[in-house]
Amino acid sequence: MKSTSLKISKVPDEGYNMDIFIDRKDTEYIYRQIYKHYKSLILNRKIKTGEKLPSKRKLAQDLDISINSVSNAYEQLLAEGYIYTKERKGYYVENLEKFINDNVADENQFPDYLKEKKPYKNNWLSLSHINTDPSLFPFDKWMKYQQKAIIEFKHNLAKIPHYKGAYVVRRTIAEMVAKTRGVICEPEQIIIGTGTQSLIQKLISTQPKNIKVAIEDPGYVRMFALLKKLNVNILPISLDSKGIDFKKIKAADPDFTILTPSHQFPTGIIMPISRRIEILNWISTRENQYIIEDDYDSEFKYGTDNIPSLQGLDKSNSIIYCGSFSKTLLPSFRISYMILPPKLLELYQSNYNDWNENNSLNLYALHYFIKNGDYTKHIKKLNQHYSKKREILITELQNRFKNNIQINDIPAGLHIVVSIFTKKTYNQILVDANKRKLEIYTIERFILSEQKEQKNNHEVKLVIGFASIDIKDIKKAVNELYTIIY
């Protein structure tokens, strides 16, 4: 068939003079062409309100197309409200207000400064404490367990998930943390979420405004940023050799205190039992005040067993335990959990029982992964791997920096803190690291109090992660670091 161009003549009740061009070679359906043609005529007020469109039969004849094409076009115009129909009479143009925007030039270009830059830090060497090593993750097992979940829990996958995460998954986590961390809880107390931050954010949002929240300083800078956005009074509390300064906590008397007792971030201090007892004795006497125990990397201990959690020692229902699979599995899986004492649980439930952020397939896979012993095996493998990396890193640092470095050798976690003798400032180091494409974090980044301490002029402290770097690149990275610092 050839394409048809038609000047529709104006005849009573049969529409207007107007050019319509059907391109049969166009990939667009004919009905869409007719639809667009009339839509444009109507929006541009080339056909007036109340005017009748040509009958389907007439237009089909004139254009040499099927009535079906015209019918589909008219149905779409009708559904969108460009035309209305009078039974057995035909289709008429709707009464539309003049569309202001139609005459506005599209000057609202997307601004350049909001454009995203190329992937950040590609091909850099990384001594970051943030990312992990995907090479050891048993993706095959994970996929196998997803398959199993698709078979066993198919019906549940079609539902909006439980707001705390599926019960069976929480039960598995409860059993696991009882064994590995001494945490005592019911599956009901566990809230699974996409990150410790988002869980704590929701918890805090159930509290009255302007509550006092204490946080370790130096500490977790992202948590600090989060708290700044909430309506709370943030109290950064300094550390002594045993972790957070207990006298200062007692004096500040915060409603919530966020701690990392298993491995203080970033200093690495493992809070000794003496400080734990002080804190637990104190909190057990405080009504409606809580400790948030952020157990972000407790699974990594080289040479000793895990340190039992604070939560397991507490009998006053004052500890909120937070765990995460970001470092033991993958950070991109976004699986964390928070274990609430009954009082806070009740409050959480009444506020967030229609909130759903967990991918069920992911959680069911986790369930099987733990149940079948793969999680324990994987952590053991990771510990061996990271222990080796850690030793190599420490050896390389000592060989290269010799007497100019002091390594705070706490055999835990995925990073170490070192003091290096140098006259360079933190800023100079970061500028030079940037030039040489080495990702490295200084302790300065984690100092939360407004007035950052004056740097000792002959020393810098660095937080050096070893999780993401390849073993073969460690020596190179240490050499780069040396070049940057001297």
**Binding positions for a second copy, 251-270, rule CB under 8 A:** 270
**How many residues in the shown chain lie near a second copy by CB under 8 A?**
104
Instruction: Decide if residue 100 touches a second copy (CB under 8 A).
Output: yes
Give the residue, chosen from 217, 255, 294, 314, that forms a contact with a second copy under the rule CB under 8 A: 314
Binding mask 293-312 for a second copy (x = CB under 8 A): --------x-xxx-xx----
Quote the CA–CA distance of 252 and 455 in Å, as a whole number.
26
Per-residue DSSP letter, 317: S
Of 201 and 404, nearer to a second copy (C-beta) is 201
Positions in 149-168 near a second copy (CB under 8 A): 150, 154-161, 167
**Residue 372 carries which side chain, given as an amino acid letter?**
N
Residue linked to tokens 């398959």: 147
Contact in structure between 351 and 402 (CB atoms under 8 Å): no
Of 298 and 422, nearer to a second copy (C-beta) is 298
Give the residue, chosen from 82, 145, 256, 386, that forms a contact with a second copy under the rule CB under 8 A: 82
Quote the CA–CA distance of 480 and 125 in Å, as a whole number.
9
Residue linked to tokens 């649980």: 345
Binding mask 41-80 for a second copy (x = CB under 8 A): --x-------------------------------xx--xx
Residue 309: HSE in the Cβ half-sphere, 13 Å Cα cutoff: 30
Stretch that binds a second copy, among 52-60, 131-139, 384-392, 429-437 (CB under 8 A): 131-139
Give the residue, chosen from 468, 469, 474, 477, that forms a contact with a second copy under the rule CB under 8 A: 468
Instruction: Decide if residue 28 touches a second copy (CB under 8 A).
Output: no
**Residue 85 carries which side chain, given as an amino acid letter?**
T
Quote the CA–CA distance of 377 and 13 in Å, as a whole number.
80
Binding mask 426-455 for a second copy (x = CB under 8 A): ------------------------------
Size of the chain, expressed as the number of residues it contains: 486
What three-state secondary structure class fits 408? strand
Quote the CA–CA distance of 20 and 33 in Å, as a whole number.
9
Tokens of 210: 């302007």
Minimum CB distance to a second copy, residue 300 (Å): 13
Q: Other CB atoms closer than 10 Å to residue 53's CB: what's the count?
A: 26
Minimum CB distance to a second copy, residue 244 (Å): 14
Name the β-bridge partners of 294. 322
Instruction: Decide if residue 225 touches a second copy (CB under 8 A).
Output: yes
Of 182 and 432, nearer to a second copy (C-beta) is 182
Least Cα distance to 31 among 80, 74, 91, 82 occurs for 74
Positions in 318-377 near a second copy (CB under 8 A): 326, 330-334, 342, 345-346, 349, 351, 354-362
Tokens of 367: 């369930």
Residue linked to tokens 């005529």: 41
Instruction: Decide if residue 110 touches a second copy (CB under 8 A).
Output: yes
